Structure 1
Amino acid sequence: MSITAAALRAAALSMPGTYEDYPFGPETAVFKVKAPSSGGSERPGKVFALGNLESSPMSISLKCDPELAPALRSANPGITGGYHLNKRHWNTVDTAQVASEMVLEMLEDSYDLVVAGLPKKQQEALEWSAYVAKS
């Protein structure tokens, strides 16, 4: 069964430091992660997922390990190179063709990739190591 927009949104927003934004207009939900700021310096969040959650079929673009992305695409016709994104680092997932569990795993992997690229201080502020140990 394919994942619902509500389940995808809830899963994304359950990850530490995640918020939903609409910088491209009301139809494209963008999920970003940002550590709580300290010292008054405001940094923008880093994108880990984006897509039109109201479209049918629903698709979402997720960051992916560049070594793994081609294998995922060749193994599943519902996974293609990131739409309007760097296809080396992003996949677009047609949620009608990919099992819910796999979509959720890819969402979490995308979040982990983005957080792993943040400075150590921000990772600690997000309590990311505790989150990874829990999942």
Structure 2
Amino acid sequence: MRHLKRGRKLNRTRSHRLAMLSNMASSLVFYKRIRTTLPKAKTLSPFVERLVTYSKHNDKLHGRRLILSKIIGKNSKQVANVLMDEIGPQYTTRDGGYTRIVKLDNRKNDNAKMCIIEFVNLEVATNDNEATDKEEGNKKEDIKK
């Protein structure tokens, strides 16, 4: 019987599954939203929410070490820095539910259910250089006319 067995296997071994979750979590932290299959997103959501909760710990060193124990790879320190400095402080008043899953159409070749997983109410810093370039471009066009 399957009583009290949490999580999905996703047709992978334990080490492959943990490596995949770690890679997907680091991609989500860097890009703030990723496109993936629905079962992977449903598995990734609690994993990432736990990392965000770790980043909100009062003891910053302990939270950073907990994050580093879950994220494996070369960019684990960068992921921990982004979580501790950018994402965690934005969710200080929120008790949970940091991610959202938005369903998309099925994938064309194998008809897999696709979705987007993203952070909820996350303020992303806009690039000011692009805004000034667009404004300057408009001014140049006005001058030419």
TM-score range, shorter chain: under 0.3
TM-score relative to the length of structure 2: 0.23
Whose helix fraction is larger, Structure 1's or Structure 2's? 2
Rg larger in structure: 2
TM-score relative to the length of structure 1: 0.24
